[in-house]
A and B are shown apart, each in its own frame.
Chain A
Amino acid sequence: MRRSQVALAAAGTTLALALAACGGGSTGTESSPGATGSPGGASQPAAAAEDKFNAGIDNVFNPSDAKGGTLKMAVSEDWDSIDPGDTYYGMSWNLSRIYARPLVTYKPAPGKQGQELVPDLAEALGVPSDDAKTWTYKLRAGLKFEDGTPITSKDVKYAVLRSLDKTVLVNGPTYFNDFLDLPKDFKSVYKTPDVKTDQAIETPDDQTIIFHLKKAFGGFDYFAALPATAPVPQAKDTGAKYREHPIASGPYMFETVEAGKQYVLVRNPNWDQATDPIRKALPDRYEISLGVNADDLDNRLISGDLHVDVAGTGLQPAALGRVAGDEALKARTDNPTATRTWYTSIIPDVPPFDNVECRKAVLFAADRDALQNAYGGAIGGEIATSLMPPGLAGWKKIELYPTSGSGDVEKAKAALAACGKPEGFETNISYRADRPKEKATAEAIQQALAKVGIKVNPKGYPTGDYFRLYAGKPDFVKKNGIGLAVNGWGADWNTGFGFMSQIVDSRTIRESGGNYNLSIKDKEIDGLIDQSLGETDANKVAEYWAKIDQIVMERAYVLPGVYSKGLPMRGKGVTNVFVSGAWDMYDYLNMGVQQ
């Protein structure tokens, strides 16, 4: 669940708004609007090529099928890994699809259409059987790796199995570990290579792959869309070193891999357009620079020297200052909302927050405008009314507490009285010290709560260990009286499960630390989660998550801050730019560059 970390690392010292990357076209008008630009073959509403604010939100900006050129990308933060089985960054999940094809993936289309799953390596989406405990996929014919060897279902099976070893490939999510029906004596493909794993994944022939789960899960196609399902040839796997040259199954392959400096990708001669209905493969070459100073990156993006900020989290504060005063620059930006919520956990383990009225007092007293300003105002985030972001199915606006303005002092005082603390009390608020927006959030909460007599002491802790040693460690939280903890969460994919499962389920809380669920321990919520897992009707599943969201707010477990937004800029001369609803950043699958 750390797609969050994308923004995390970046937000670290500098950044922050939200999520959404960059790329983008601008000046070009060569390709006539309305030409077959739209990816995935979906017919698009009049695709724009004129610079306009939010032109890349629900349309394909500057659509084109012109091939050639070099797409220059850059990123300021560290990149966990380009190994598809070892990465948890959203930008990486998005970009990896140009060289590694998963079983299924998200349709390269703007907005909501982009949340739709389409088959990639597979001929069709997964076929469930045995009450959604068994899932079958059939691979397309004629697939080849970059060296010309054919891709078989065994390569996909191997790729998934290797990704289970979190001691070697430490970064990725653990969904397969949690759901696959693995034999007891299987440790990892590296340690126990001879153990039969057919009870978990079967490959009856070279085209067919069958997954067996230990519990029903109706949303398995989302697992199949994880980059870890991109095939890896066992003969070429070098464990943790595979990231030095992942073997391509997509239209591009690595020419240069210099960790921390740059990646260069060139065309993969063994990729066949006939096997791939969703990719256009427009540029001849991708050049990705790493470790670029974030402000410098923005300036180069503005000047046209760079095409895409891979991180997808939007411009830095300094560049925002420039954009704010310049209509021409503003016209090159988009302002998408991400499925990420920045919120403050109100921790019932720490008295007096064991009393729901004291928790409610915080929600009534909070200054919603100031919390929004902490994330840069309206362009940095939309005032959140609940934990679950509006991009997810089933979301409802929950108006139990003030949703704008400077808080309701009367109601907060009434709640305090009901809690038996009419004079207020003292507590601590933790935040990640090197994240200016979280610091601003803590300061805003301190100011607002002071008005009703709640004295809040802000405490900054290191970002790297925030969940492992500090706010995410129940012992530490209780001992240090941390009643409030600023944090945030982004969806792994855009469903209730993809967003909520790691942050509301009390059974994910481990005493040893490393928890992302800081404050929600509620038997009723746990029960609802279990009921939702066995459900295959998407609408009913969404209702369960909406119900959970409602309970979280009724019982005041979190103070929602903002639904994150970013202000990414479209690079000069980039074609097929749009914000995908799957990534909430520019979709990298079909970007091109004008010559």
Chain B
Amino acid sequence: MSAPLDVPGSATEATPEAVAQLSSAKAIQGRSLGQIAWMRLKRDKVAIAGGIVIVLLILIALFAPLIVSWFGHPPNEFHKDQLDPFTLPIGGTGISSEFLFGVEPGNGRDIFSRVLYGSRISLLIAFFATVLSVIIGTVMGVIAGYFGGWVDTVISRIMDVFLAFPLLVFAIALVGVLGQFEQELKIQGDTLRIGLLIFVIGFFSWPYIARIIRGQTLSLREREFVDAARSLGARGPYILFREILPNLIAPILIYATLLIPTNVLFEAALSFLGVGVQAPTATWGGMLADAVRRYNMWHFMFFPGMAIFITVLAFNLFGDGLRDALDPKSSR
């Protein structure tokens, strides 16, 4: 007897509360979306942990010279005194209070400093390459999705071409070829290489974002609020920037966060293959490439490897959490 009565009872009680919550949410519109997302994100411990690591990584990258001046040595400085006659680190790794992560065989450079300095290159390139691909991807995606017709066909085919490209091979060739044109381009060394890598990585990963944006735009432009705006006389640019783009911020944010770790890996891969930023500038991929020849010297490979692993994991976890928070309907 009591059970049937209780259940509807609680259900009826719940309804008004939910309605009230909804209506109150509507009352403070604009801000609420972000607030709700932030609440959801806060509850996601894993994502928050990822976020904290990301903040730490950025701080480390920014203040690398300062940290290294306290706990390390200049990243390109040789330390012959740390090597035995075989030019291997004394004691196998050379790890000491002076050299926290040990030293490189052959020249005795401080691995701790090099890993820290490597983070600057990795994050810088990954971040700006992502910005580049997000900008291109969003513009192309919105144009394709909004205008449809032959514009859509052309852009979609271009995206297909880019996606079908043997990207790594092409990137190697392009960086290799353009890297020889220092005289013509009037930029030298690291600046040139970093710029090139940002361009190559960014320019070739935009279709991933563009596809998603195109799909979203396609569905958004058929929605009632767009129809309403159009019937009120709104024109293309207004609808694009005021009606559609704000609704795309969530997917853009999510995929940008998820694209960063991909780009970190891509940069590492290019450096590993020797077409990244050139020696002696420290990069994680470059350090791994050196370490492979010394595979039995664990510390040489472990620290740059861990740096890549932690960075990629942190961005991925945070990106996943962000997606869940911004778009709870998306299935995991």
Contacts and interface: CB of A to CB of B under 8 A. Distances in A.
A373 B87 contact: yes
Contact of B107 (A324, A440, A457): A440
B86 A370 contact: no
Q: Chain A contact residues (Cβ within 8 angstroms of B): what range?
A: 35 or more
B151 to A, nearest CB: 42
Contacts of A370: 78, 80, 107
Contact of A377 (B87, B176, B296): B87
A446 to B, nearest CB: 6
A434 B274 contact: yes
A460 B290 CA distance: 15
B245 interface: no
B223 interface: no
A434 B272 CA distance: 11
A200 to B, nearest CB: 43
B83 A460 contact: no
A543 interface: no
B188 interface: yes
B107 A460 contact: no
A439 interface: yes
A577 interface: no
A458 B280 contact: yes
Contact of B86 (A376, A433, A458): A376
Contacts of A317: 105, 293-294
Given A374-B107, A440-B106, A457 B293 contact: no
Contacts of B85: 377-379
Interface string A424-445: 0000000001101001101110
Contacts of B87: 373, 376-377, 380
B160 interface: no
A479 B182 CA distance: 10
Q: Chain B contact residues (Cβ within 8 angstroms of A): what range?
A: 20 to 34
Nearest to B182: A480
Given A434-B274, A447-B78, A324 B86 contact: yes
Nearest to B275: A433
A400 B280 CA distance: 30
A433 B183 contact: no
Nearest to A380: B87
Interface string B43-76: 0000000000000000000000000000000001
Contacts of B327: none
A574 B80 CA distance: 38
Given A318-B296, A324-B84, A367 B280 contact: no
A331 B274 CA distance: 36
B239 interface: no
Interface string A87-119: 000000000000000000000000000000000
B107 A444 contact: yes
Q: Please report whether the interface of chain A is mostly helix, strand, loop or mixed according to DSSP.
A: helix
Contacts of A439: 279
B37 interface: no
B118 to A, nearest CB: 15
Contact of B278 (A295, A320, A380, A458): A458
Interface in A12-57: 13-14
Given A436-B290, A458-B279, A324 B88 contact: yes
B265 interface: no
A377 B107 contact: no
Nearest to A15: B293
B293 A447 contact: no
Interface string A453-471: 0000111101000000000
A443 B105 CA distance: 14
A373 B83 contact: yes
A77 interface: no
A439 B289 CA distance: 12
Interface in B66-112: 76-78, 80, 83-88, 105-107
Contacts of A322: 296
Contacts of B278: 458-460
A321 B299 CA distance: 13
Contacts of B297: 321
A377 B87 CA distance: 6
Contacts of A334: none
A480 B179 CA distance: 12
Nearest to B181: A480
B88 to A, nearest CB: 6
B189 interface: yes
Nearest 6 CB-CB pairs, A to B? A377-B87, A324-B86, A443-B280, A373-B87, A317-B293, A321-B296
Interface of B: 76-78, 80, 83-88, 105-107, 176, 180, 182-183, 188-189, 274, 278-280, 290, 293-297
6 contacts: A13-B293, A374-B107, A380-B87, A443-B279, A443-B280, A446-B76
Interface of A: 13-14, 295, 316-318, 320-322, 324, 367, 369-370, 373-374, 376-380, 406, 433-434, 436, 439-440, 442-444, 446-447, 457-460, 462, 479-480
Given A317-B105, A322-B296, A443-B107, 10 more contacts: A13-B293, A320-B88, A321-B86, A321-B88, A376-B86, A377-B86, A406-B80, A440-B106, A457-B188, A459-B278
